[in-house]
Each structure stands twice: as C-alpha cells, then as structure tokens.
Amino acid sequence: MGNDMIDYIDDNEIPVFIINGFLEAGKTSFIQYTMSEEYFQIEGNTLLIVCEEGEVEYQSSELARAHTKLVQIENEEDLEPGRMEELRQSFNAERVIIEYNGMWDPTKLVLPEGWVLYQQITIFNGATLTTYLNNMKALMGPMLRNTELCIVNRCDDRQETELLDWKRKLRPMLVSESAIVMENKYGEIPLETLPEELPYDLEAPVIEIKPEDFGIWFFDAKDNPDRYKGKIVSFTACIMRSRNFQEDCFVPGRMAMTCCEADMTFIGFIAHYADIDAFPNHGWVKLRAKMDVRYQKEYGGEGPFLEVIDMSLTGEIKEPVAF
C-alpha cells in the first residue's frame, strides 16, 4: 500500500486494499510492516478484515497505535456487502484492508456500494510456489487477475532458473501494468539482472519463433519492446481482424491458456500488411515481419508493432499456448 495510493483517496469513497495469497505466504507480516510505516500513520480509523488465521498474530498494541480494528471472518459466505458495511460503520472506518483467504474464490467477492478497490497485492511463499504453480494454477489465475503487485518472498537458495520459470508463469496471469517482486533475506532481487536464456537467437537474421515458444516471445517482447526493434521474426499465427483497427492492420496471434482451460485469451501484436484482404479472417498463416515500437490506441501507449514482409496460408496449430 504505497504512499501514492493513500494520497489520492477520494473523500467520497471507502478505499479497499486487498492482500491476497495462500496460507503462510506472509500476508500478516506484510500488513504489520505496512502499518508500522510512517505513511500509514494517517488520520481516521482502519477496518482490517482477516479471513484466515496464519502463523503470525497481530499485536493489539500495534493495531491500537494504527487506529485499526481487526475483525475475523471464518466463512466465505459471511464476507458479504451488508455485513462488511455494518462492520465499517460500527468502527467509523475510513478505509478497509482485507487479508483474503487464498482458497476462497475472489470473483465472488462483492464490495459494498461506495467501496472502491484501490490496490490488490498478492503474496507467495517462494518455498512452496513451484508446488502451487504445478498443481493449483486454476486458483492462482483469479487471485492474480486484479493484482497490481505480486510479491514472492523467501526466495533464498533458489536457483536463477527457478526464479525465471516463476516469472514466465506468473506474468501471463497478471495485467500488463502489474509488477513482480521477488525477495530474499537481503531484500529485493533485481530480476532484470538474471541471465535469461531465450529459446531463440536474438542475433539471427530471422528470429524463428517455434510454436512452443510463442508465449515466451510475446511476453518478452511486451516487457522489452526495444530489445526487438528492427528485428525480423517468423512465426505461425491466426489472423484476427477488427473494424476498429487502422487500414490493413490485424493481429496475428494465438489462444493462450494462462492458468486453466476456462481462462483462455487471444495474445498477439498489431501488424500491418498491404495485402491482408487476400487472407481470410481467422485463417492461419506463416509470416515474416520486421518489429518496431509504435504508439497504438489499443495498447494505450507504445508497444511492439509488426510490419509484415510476407506471409502465406498454413495449417492450424490446435494446441493453445501454455506457460
């Protein structure tokens, strides 16, 4: 809960901060640390709704000093708008923190009228994250969907390859503006310094993107567009056209499974090709394109852009992109 989030709170709204994650991820410790920071020492009362009992307990003295009232909610059905607003009014709270239960469905959480989600932070324990990624991605996808900041703590003694694997698997489940932070006992690990080995040669005259590497290329280019500026890439994709696109523009992309079969999305970058009318919408093509970085209203800013050199019809790739 950064200082900037608190500075811009609308007086007519009840700001809500959701701290999400599985049991023993470190949610309580994070909230306690936040309450001890100077920027949290503001006027007005805070309602802290705790939805599960973890390994760390809140100290009554710290809660009192932060003008915070703790309420325990044990059953998911009890976390409903009327009950939450009743609790807020009983303490005259001006803001609400919800320490959410990671096993509850976040899509079922309905906030009372006038309550606004200002920030959602999801926390994972690095000692158990690989297990969750391998076995519980269906739960993690909805948990991460509205997350602004994803923190992975306790990353001590983890290999760089595992950290990179986590980043690649978490990134597709987050929105574009979200950040991933990994921490060990020394503090934040600078992810940009990790020696990432891409499965294709960035220095090749034509970068061949294999079907199984499409997702890696997409998110790496999205996060590091300047790395690909001026590069020529070749890959197989499905044509997606829209009336809202500029003339002769389309998106060559693929369906991607970010967490489970029920959570599929089409991923790809805007491309331009003068002869696009010769190809059917939703047809599959093999193309070569020169990559650029341009402003697009669909991106809401600058992002990767493909100037297609040539393309031809080809067979469908039936398997979705997986991470």
Phi-psi region of 107 (alpha: psi -120 to 50; beta: other; left: phi over 0): alpha
Instruction: Give the fold, CATH level 3, of 3-193.
Output: Rossmann fold (3.40.50)
Per-residue pLDDT tens over the stretch 165-221: 999 899 999 987 889 999 999 999 988 777 678 899 999 999 999 999 999 999 999
- Could you give the CA distance from residue 124 to residue 133 in angstroms, rounded to a whole number? 11
CA dihedral 238, 239, 244, 248 (to 10 degrees): 150
Instruction: Give the fold, CATH level 3, of 207-322.
Output: OB fold (Dihydrolipoamide Acetyltransferase, E2P) (2.40.50)
In degrees rounded to 5, what are phi and psi of residue 256? -125, 140
Where are the chain's structural domains?
Answer: 3-193, 207-322
Per-residue pLDDT tens over the stretch 236-289: 999 999 988 989 999 999 999 888 777 789 999 999 999 999 999 999 999 999
How confident is the prediction for the chain on average, in pLDDT? 91
Angle at the Cα of 42 from the Cα atoms of 40 and 83, rounded to 5 degrees: 85
Beta strand residue intervals within the chain, DSSP E: 14-20, 45-50, 68-72, 93-99, 115-125, 149-153, 179-184, 187-189, 207-208, 232-240, 249-257, 264-268, 270-272, 284-296, 301-313, 321-322
What secondary structure does DSSP assign to 119-160, as a single string?
EEEEEEETTTHHHHHHH-HHHHHHHHTT-SEEEEE--TT--H
Q: How would residue 3 be classed by pLDDT, with cut points 50, 70 and 90?
A: very low
Name the residue among 236, 230, 204 with its Cα closest to residue 290: 230
Q: How would residue 38 be classed by pLDDT, with cut points 50, 70 and 90?
A: confident
